[in-house]
Every structure is written in C-alpha cells, then in structure tokens.
Amino acid sequence: MIKYILTIIAIIGIFSCQNTSHPVSDEDNGVVLPLGFPPLPINLDNPLTKVSIELGRKLFYDTILSNGGISCASCHKQRFAFSDGGNHVSFGFQGRSTTRNALSIVNVAYYENYNWDGKFHGSNAIEEIVKTVVHLPFEFNCDSNTVNERLRKHPEYPKLIKNAYGESAEPNLKYAAKAIANFVRSIISGNSRYDKFVKGDTAALNESEKRGLRLFFSDRTKCSECHSGHLFTDNKFHSTGITTHYFDRGRFLVTDENEDRGKFRTPTLRNIALTAPYMHNGEILTLEEIMQHYNNGGKIFINKDKRMKPLGLSQEEIKDLINFLHALTDEDLIKNPKYSKPL
C-alpha cells in the first residue's frame, strides 16, 4: 500500500516538473519567456538570478564604469528597442564615434555569435563585451583599476555585489560585468502583434500584414531563411551586397578568410520599425529603401549570397512586406518598467 502511494506521489512529482505551460517564469530569475521561446541557455559561471539582474540593471544605467559620463544606455536605449535610434553609428567618450550601428540588444541570451562580425562568441561573450566597452577609447575609455576603486568607495555597490555573488565577491569590474551581462540576458522581446497572431489571435494582423507574412516566409523572397526562427536571425554571416566595396570587411576581421569579406551577422528583425537607420554602418535610412535593395537583388559583390537576386515584387507586395515588418514591434518591451532605469 505504502509503495503504491509513493508511486502515485512520484508520478505527480514528475508531471509537475514537466509542466510546460507558458509563459514560463523561472522562480529564481523572474524572466518571463513568451510562448515558443525555449528555456534560456544556462551559464554555469554566472547563474541568472533576480538579484544579479537587478544589480546589472542599476549598472547598465550608471555612468560609474566610464569616463565622460556615459553608460550602456547611452547607446542602447529602451525606447528604440535597446538600439541607438537615429544614429548611423554611436558616440562614446567625448563624442568619439564607433565604426558600426549599435545593435538592438534583445533576446541576445540565445545568441552564439555577437556583434556584426561575431567577434565575441560563447557563453561568456556578454561579460567580455562589457569589459571591452569599459576599455575602448571610443566607448567608456576607462580601465579596471579606476572602475574597481570607484566601486569599492561606492555607498551601495559593495553590498549589492556581495548579495548577488556571495560574501567573498569583491566590488570589482569582474562582478559588475557579470551582473550587467545578466541584466542584458533578461531583456526578452516576443510579444508583438505577429506573436499574438502565431498564438492564435487571427485578428492581430490585418490583411496586408498577413500577405506580407506569407511573402516573408515564402520561397520567393527567402527572407526567413536568414532572418529565421523565433529570433528572426540564423546568427550566421552573409553578404547581402549593400555595396560593391566594403570599407568594413566584417567577418573577415575575425577569420582572415577572403570568403568572409563583406559578411555580417544577420540582425534580428524584431522591433525593426524602432531601430532605424539600418545595416552594419547605418547607411540605409528607411524600410522602403531596404525593400528596394532586396527587390533589386543587391549590388555586384564577390561574396554576395546566392539568394540575393531580383525579386520582382510589385509596389503593393513591397508595402505588404513593410507592413508585416511593422507588426514585429513589441510595445511591451519599450514600456516594461523591469528594463527601465531604476528609480
């Protein structure tokens, strides 16, 4: 009898652990995942916890890691889906400019390759990016000794770092980078009208947007072969022939392979209506111009992807595609106080 009861309890236990009803909220980190999003990858070096995310949020908006009074949020702004809306390239220490358009940092917890050229990759890539930003002369133009000193003297950070990473954790750049990386990992976007449509709300898209959706996922345009999956990116490198001569050699800078010249990592298209201007150098200003570029099949360039061919889309079809791209905007992301500057 007792054995029988234990078996029942065990079965109930298994079922409650396997409960996959969505949205998923992990008790420990408070990150809510939209339907269709797989569990976040686990970084054993830096577990995603509520306290580390909260600390990271404070640091993300703080100028303490920089010289010249800038923060991560100077270039990754919530209202532009954490891109640097309006700026072709971004401006860091004393107005010095970056060489590329600031990427929108949503759903990046799922990525393998980071930056337009994949310079950073693997499970600690975001921590590495933070440390690099601190040192780059055209971003924070600072150094770890200065940062460590400032954190040590700060009235709150020494305690917050210990709360997040344990009693032995010293207030230094290493832990600041871990916490910021975890805040960045917590920025999830998947509640656009497109997502609502996919979940079964057929009224979430109008007829033009539905036609655009079909074109986007069609064999004719092949948009979804590169801008694929729930992230709208394959996280791989391609040249779309936006120019006949790439000043920025892209993936080549990482691999030194000629076949990688002019290739850039496919950017996500989530919230694309909020993140103009476009492409790695921000040279394309509008979605209309983007569609012209694809409809023409791109310029002549040796490494241009084979799929880049004239598409023969009518003006009406172009409009439908653009309307579909607008339906990828997630209003919750830009309003969510969880991602805003803490009070």
151 lines the binding site for ligand HEC (CB under 6 A) = no
Q: Which of 307, 319, 326, 338 binds ligand HEC (CB under 6 A)?
A: 307
* Residue 40 phi, psi dihedral angles, 5° rounding: -70, 140
55 lines the binding site for ligand HEC (CB under 6 A) = no
Instruction: Output 26 or 225, the one with its CB closest to ligand HEC.
Output: 225
Per DSSP, what are the bridge partners of residue 232?
Answer: none
- Angle made by CA atoms 198, 83, 263, in degrees to the nearest 5: 85
What distance lies between CA 241 and its chain's CA centroid? Answer: 23
Stretch that binds ligand HEC, among 27-35, 41-49, 96-104, 198-206 (CB under 6 A): 96-104
72 lines the binding site for ligand HEC (CB under 6 A) = yes
Instruction: Output 29 or 323, the one with its CB closest to ligand HEC.
Output: 323
Size of the site for ligand HEC (CB under 6 A): 48
Question: Are 295 and 257 within 8 A, CB to CB?
Answer: no
Q: Which of 25, 129, 21, 19 is nearest to 338 (CA)?
A: 25
Question: Looking at this protein, which amino acid is placed at residue 271?
Answer: N
Q: Is 263 helix (H, G, I), strand (E, B) or coil?
A: strand
Q: Which of 37, 80, 114, 339 binds ligand HEC (CB under 6 A)?
A: 114
Instruction: Output 165 or 301, the one with its CB closest to ligand HEC.
Output: 301
DSSP class of residue 108? G
Residue 320 neighbours by CB under 8 Å, 6+ apart: 208, 209, 211, 212, 215
Q: Which of 88, 227, 251, 261 binds ligand HEC (CB under 6 A)?
A: 227
Instruction: Output 50 or 307, the one with its CB closest to ligand HEC.
Output: 307
Q: Which of 31, 53, 133, 327 binds ligand HEC (CB under 6 A)?
A: 133
Q: Which of 126, 161, 188, 334 binds ligand HEC (CB under 6 A)?
A: 126
Question: Are 327 and 193 within 8 A, CB to CB?
Answer: yes
Q: Which of 40, 55, 81, 108 binds ligand HEC (CB under 6 A)?
A: 108
Strands 24-25 and 32-33, by their bridges, are antiparallel
Question: Are 156 and 74 within 8 A, CB to CB?
Answer: no
Helices (H), 199-310: 207-216, 223-226, 252-255, 287-296
The minimum distance between CB 233 and ligand HEC, in angstroms, equals: 8
275 lines the binding site for ligand HEC (CB under 6 A) = yes
100 lines the binding site for ligand HEC (CB under 6 A) = yes
Instruction: Output 163 or 243, the one with its CB closest to ligand HEC.
Output: 243
328 lines the binding site for ligand HEC (CB under 6 A) = no
Instruction: Output 129 or 333, the one with its CB closest to ligand HEC.
Output: 129
Rounded to a whole number of angstroms, the CA Rg of the chain reads: 22
Stretch that binds ligand HEC, among 38-46, 102-110, 145-153, 165-173 (CB under 6 A): 102-110
Structure tokens at 71: 């923060």
139 lines the binding site for ligand HEC (CB under 6 A) = yes
> Could you give the CA distance from residue 273 to residue 82 in angstroms, rounded to a whole number?
13
Which region holds residue 141: left if phi is over 0, alpha if psi is between -120 and 50, else beta?
left
Residues that bind ligand HEC (CB under 6 A): 70, 72, 74-76, 90-92, 98, 100, 102-103, 105, 108, 111, 114-116, 126, 129-130, 133, 139, 180, 184, 221-223, 225-227, 238, 240, 242, 264, 266-267, 269, 272, 275, 278-280, 290, 294, 305, 307, 321
